């Protein structure tokens, strides 16, 4: 029988491997995963801000009084709270209050339990607010619409003057002013266009150094993400409970259809046709909801009561 003596070589090799390979891997792999998660979250925040600007105006445009408005300040606070906050936190109206330092994503901690990101180290903003569309064709069109607007306003003013003159004569004879005269310009083109709908959200996250880990103790890492979007929302004010011709984008489109201005003139007669006698309208096809003068359908998807088939996840609408 041969007896061999154990010299402890294997345990020595394991100790060397653990010190120089295994322990650093156990520390660095989760840490790098958290850094990657921070980068993905910053990208998500930039995209979230861009998306919000497609449904919320920074300030109410001239062509509607019912637009959904959210200031940049509130948008920034909500983005930080909803994207960088604790993943278990529910979305609420109080998110505009911002995010406390101890409410940052609880997974972003080092091996000693210290926060890798403080609440005040997160910066989200749209530096220049809404900017001019970076397009030569848009700039040329902006100039063109301003040129067209001058004669259009002149003609519109003269038509309004003519309606006022007719109403004055009618009032002298009958005591009534039969034709409603719009208070706004008859042909208002320039104010309807949104040439400043370009937004560039910017997100910066300053990551804390790790004092006990070489290299990471002086890393001064800052994660930065950007997004860009060109917006002109047609349904930001919401279409729920509204007739098609009363939605925000439909009113915007009316500015380019002069015949839409005759709707108030014919509405009294159309109301008569829509009046129901014994539950039946006289001529429903001539009512204000059926015969819409100068109407342009602005719905991206036509209304339908039919549930579409969606083979392979692709839906088709008739």
Q: Token pair of 5, please?
A: 């003596």
Mean residue pLDDT across the chain: 77
DSSP state of 231: -
CA distance 116 to 118: 7
CA distance 153 to 94: 45
3-state secondary structure of 24: helix
Amino acid 198: pLDDT:
85
Percent of the chain with pLDDT over 70: 69
Distance from chain centroid for Cα 195 = 16
For the chain, the domains span: 8-131+196-235, 134-195
Is 223:215 a contact under the CB 8 Å cutoff?
A: no
pLDDT digits (tens, 9 = 90+) for 24-66: 666 778 888 899 999 999 999 999 999 988 888 787 766 555 6
Helices (H) and strands (E) in the chain, counts: 6, 7
Cβ count near 270 (within 10 Å): 19
Which residue matches tokens 């998110």? 95
pLDDT digits (tens, 9 = 90+) for 155-167: 777 888 888 888 8
3-state secondary structure of 234: coil
Amino acid 95: pLDDT:
82
Amino acid 99: pLDDT:
80
Amino acid 189: pLDDT:
62
Q: Which residue has the higher pLDDT, 202 or 146?
A: 202
CA distance 196 to 129: 9
pLDDT digits (tens, 9 = 90+) for 212-260: 777 788 889 999 999 988 876 444 444 444 565 566 666 667 767 777 7
Amino acid 153: pLDDT:
76
DSSP state of 20: I
Which residue matches tokens 């408005």? 69
Is 122:129 a contact under the CB 8 Å cutoff?
A: no
Rg (CA), the chain: 32
Average the pLDDT over 280-292 and give the result.
79
pLDDT digits (tens, 9 = 90+) for 173-191: 888 887 777 766 666 666 6
Amino acid 196: pLDDT:
75
Stated length of the chain: 318
Amino acid 55: pLDDT:
81
């Amino acid at each position: 029988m041969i007896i061999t003596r154990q010299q402890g070589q294997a345990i020595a090799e394991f100790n060397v491997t653990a010190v120089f390979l295994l322990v650093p891997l156990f520390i660095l792999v989760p840490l790098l995963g958290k850094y990657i998660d921070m980068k993905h979250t910053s990208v998500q925040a930039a995209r979230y801000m861009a998306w919000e600007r497609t449904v919320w105006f920074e300030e109410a445009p001239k062509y509607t009084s019912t637009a959904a408005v959210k200031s940049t300040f509130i948008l920034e606070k909500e983005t930080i709270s909803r994207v960088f906050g604790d993943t278990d936190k529910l979305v609420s109206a109080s998110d505009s209050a911002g995010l406390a330092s101890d409410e940052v994503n609880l997974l972003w901690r080092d091996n000693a339990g210290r926060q890798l990101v403080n609440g005040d180290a997160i910066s989200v903003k749209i530096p220049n607010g809404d900017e001019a569309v970076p397009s030569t064709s848009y700039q040329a069109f902006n100039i063109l619409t301003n040129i067209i607007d001058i004669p259009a306003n002149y003609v519109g003013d003269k038509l309004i003057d003519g309606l006022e003159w007719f109403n004055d004569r009618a009032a002298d004879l009958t005591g009534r002013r039969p034709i409603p005269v719009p208070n706004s310009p008859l042909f208002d083109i320039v104010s309807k266009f949104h040439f400043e709908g370009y937004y560039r959200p910017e997100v910066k996250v300053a990551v804390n150094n790790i004092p006990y880990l070489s290299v990471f103790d002086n890393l001064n890492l800052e994660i930065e993400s950007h997004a860009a979007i060109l917006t002109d929302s047609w349904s930001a004010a919401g279409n729920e409970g509204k007739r098609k011709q009363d939605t925000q984008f439909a009113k915007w489109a009316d500015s380019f259809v002069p015949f839409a201005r005759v709707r108030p003139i014919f509405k009294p007669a159309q109301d008569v046709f829509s009046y129901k006698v014994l539950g039946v309208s006289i001529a429903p096809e001539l009512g204000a909801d059926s015969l819409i003068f100068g109407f342009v359908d602005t719905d991206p998807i036509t209304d339908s009561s039919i549930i579409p088939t969606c083979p392979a996840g692709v839906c088709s609408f008739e």
